[in-house]
Structure 1
Amino acid sequence: MSFTKTITVAHGDGIGPEIMDSTLKILDAANSNLIYESIEVGEKVYNKGIKAGIEDKSWDIISKNKILLKAPITTPQGGGVKSLNVTLRKTLGLFANVRPCRAYHPFVKTKHPDMDVIVIRENEEDTYGGIEHRQTFEVYQCLKLITLPGTERIVRYAFEYAKSNGRSKVTCLTKDNIMKLTDGLFHDVFKTVSKEYPHIESENLIVDIGTARLADTPERFDVVVMPNLYGDIVSDITAQISGSVGMVGSANIGTKTAMFEAIHGSAPDIAGHNIANPSALIQASVMMLRHLGQFTQADNIQNAWLKTLEDGIHTPDIFNNDSKLKASTQDFTQAVIERLGQKPATLSKVSTSGAVNFQIPALKLSRSENKPSATQKRTLTGVDVFIYWEPQNINLLAQRLNDAASEEFELTMITNRGTKVWPNGNPETFCTDHWRCRFKSMNGKATQFKVVDLQKRLTKHAIDIIKTENLYLFDNEPAFSSGQGE
Structure 2
Amino acid sequence: MLGSIYRKSVTGAARTTVRGMHFKTPNTKYGSKYTVTLIPGDGIGKETAEAVKTIFKADNVPVEFEEIDVTGEVSGSELPAEYQEGLRSLRRNKVGLKGILYTPVVRTGHPSFNVLLRKELDIFASVSLFKSIPGVQTRQKDIDFVVVRENTEGEYSGLEHMPTPDVVESLKIITEYNSERIGRFAFDFAVMNQRNRVTAIHKANIMKQADGLFRNTVKGLGTDYPQIEVNDMIVDNASMQAVSHPQQFDVLVTPNLYGTILSNIGAGLVGGPGLVPGVSIGRDYAVFEPGCRHVGLDIKGKNTANPTAMVLSSVMMLRHLGLDETADRISKATYKVLEQAQVRTPDLGGTNTTTEFTKAILNELD
Greater RCO, CA 8 A, separation 6+: 2
Q: Shift of the alpha carbon at 1:49?
A: 7.1
Which residue number in structure 2 is paired with residue 304 of structure 1? 333
Q: Shift of the alpha carbon at 1:197?
A: 0.4
In 1, Cα distance between equivalents of 2:115 and 2:85: 19
Q: Does 1:190 align with 2:190?
A: no
Q: Would the aligned equivalents of 2:184 and 2:221 in 1 still touch at CA under 8 Å?
A: yes
Which residue number in structure 2 is paired with residue 132 of structure 1? 160
Query: What are the ranges of 5 or more consecutive residues in structure 2 without an aligned counterpart?
Result: 1-29
**Relative to 1, partners in 2 of residues 1:23 and 1:50: Cα closer, same or farther, differing over 3 Å?**
farther
**Relative to 1, partners in 2 of residues 1:48 and 1:208: Cα closer, same or farther, differing over 3 Å?**
closer
Q: Would the aligned equivalents of 1:43 and 1:53 in 2 still touch at CA under 8 Å?
A: no
Show structure 1 runs of 4+ deviating over 6 A: none
Pick one of 84, 92, 104 that aligns with 1:76: 104
Of Structure 1 and Structure 2, the greater helix share is in: 2
Which residue number in structure 1 is paired with residue 6 of structure 2? none
In 2, Cα distance between equivalents of 1:52 and 1:124: 21
Pick one of 240, 253, 261 that aligns with 1:212: 240
Which residue number in structure 1 is paired with residue 348 of structure 2? 318
Q: Shift of the alpha carbon at 1:103?
A: 1.0
- CA deviations 1:133-157 (Å, max 9, x no partner) are 2334654221000111111100000
Which residue number in structure 2 is paired with residue 154 of structure 1? 182
Report the number of matched residues: 334
Aligned residue runs from structure 1 range 441-452, under 5 A: none
Q: Shift of the alpha carbon at 1:280?
A: 1.0
Pick one of 123, 126, 136 that aligns with 1:108: 136
State the secondary structure of the residue aligned to 1:54.
Answer: helix
Of Structure 1 and Structure 2, the greater strand share is in: 1
Q: Does 1:241 align with 2:266?
A: no
Which residue number in structure 2 is paired with residue 18 of structure 1? 47
What is the percentage of aligned positions where both structures have the same residue?
A: 40
Q: Shift of the alpha carbon at 1:3?
A: 4.1
In 2, Cα distance between equivalents of 1:306 and 1:2: 30
Read off the aligned partner of 1:314 and give its amino acid letter. Answer: R
In 1, Cα distance between equivalents of 2:361 and 2:159: 44
**Structure with bigger gyration radius:** 1
- CA deviations 1:172-214 (Å, max 9, x no partner) are 1111111111111111111211110001111111111122111
Q: Would the aligned equivalents of 1:54 and 1:84 in 2 still touch at CA under 8 Å?
A: no
Q: Shift of the alpha carbon at 1:58?
A: 3.0
Which residue number in structure 2 is paired with residue 277 of structure 1? 306
In 2, Cα distance between equivalents of 1:212 and 1:48: 39
In 1, Cα distance between equivalents of 2:171 and 2:223: 31
In 1, Cα distance between equivalents of 2:284 and 2:112: 22
Aligned residue runs from structure 1 range 274-423, under 5 A: 274-312=303-341, 313-319=343-349, 326-340=351-365
In 1, Cα distance between equivalents of 2:237 and 2:81: 37
The TM-score normalised by the length of structure 2 is 0.87
Q: Would the aligned equivalents of 2:179 and 2:217 in 1 still touch at CA under 8 Å?
A: yes
In 2, Cα distance between equivalents of 1:178 and 1:242: 31
Q: Would the aligned equivalents of 2:72 and 2:112 in 1 still touch at CA under 8 Å?
A: no
Q: Would the aligned equivalents of 2:37 and 2:66 in 1 still touch at CA under 8 Å?
A: yes
The TM-score normalised by the length of structure 1 is 0.66
State the secondary structure of the residue aligned to 2:82.
Answer: coil
State the secondary structure of the residue aligned to 1:177.
Answer: coil
Q: Would the aligned equivalents of 1:246 and 1:264 in 2 still touch at CA under 8 Å?
A: no
State the secondary structure of the residue aligned to 1:99.
Answer: strand
Which residue number in structure 1 is paired with residue 16 of structure 2? none
Which residue number in structure 1 is paired with residue 197 of structure 2? 169
In 2, Cα distance between equivalents of 1:253 and 1:205: 25
Read off the aligned partner of 1:291 and give its amino acid letter. Answer: H
Q: Shift of the alpha carbon at 1:95?
A: 0.5
